[in-house]
Amino acid sequence: MADFFDRLDGSRVNRAGYERVLEATWTPQQNVRVTSTDLPDTWANALHRLGRDLHVRQYNGSIERIEWIADYDPDIGAVLLLSDVTVLGRGPDGWGMDGPTSRVDDPAESILACIADLVQDQVARARVAWPWGETGGFMSPQLLGNTAVWSDKGHHIAIGTL
């Protein structure tokens, strides 16, 4: 993880010039805990909705902990959400992000679909399939109309309701 320093205005910036805008964790016992955020409530709400689904449909391991940090990249105007996934009986998998980004003020459901995609990818990188579909295989996050959903072979369920 990049080193951060405090600027005179109180914000935290890493060596690449990105401002740290969110820090949070998820555990099965405590669900989502947002420890700091400069983002609109839609971001914390999205993490809380996703956190409800993290309790179920895990295959090939059990997620013990996820840590999140989000940095704001002013060059592209987007929030970069990184995850570090720990699976029960294994160490932390390391910080990573591979996938879409959202802007600070994107609609809530769009942010949720983006976050679900990013977190699912990092959970898979930790060698756990989540969320596992009714008939096997991954469910896929997507924005269907104006609702963030998990898609499973033509069936859709709102993210946060598994």
- The 10s digit of each residue's pLDDT in 78-90 is 999 999 999 999 9
Closest CA to 138 of 148, 155, 152, 157: 152
Report which residue type is found at 119.
Answer: V
**pLDDT given at position 27:** 97
Please give the distance of CA 129 from its chain centroid, rounded to a whole number: 15
Residue 93 has pLDDT above 80, yes or no: yes
Which pLDDT tens digit goes with each residue over 38-80? Answer: 999 999 999 999 999 999 999 999 999 999 999 999 888 999 9
- Model confidence at 135, pLDDT cuts 50, 70, 90, reads confident
- The whole-chain average pLDDT of the chain stands at 90
So where are the chain's domains? 4-108+118-131
**pLDDT given at position 22:** 96
**pLDDT given at position 110:** 98
The string of DSSP codes covering 73-121 is ETTTTEEEEEEEEEETTS-B---B--S--B-TTS-HHHHHHHHHHHHHH
**pLDDT given at position 15:** 54
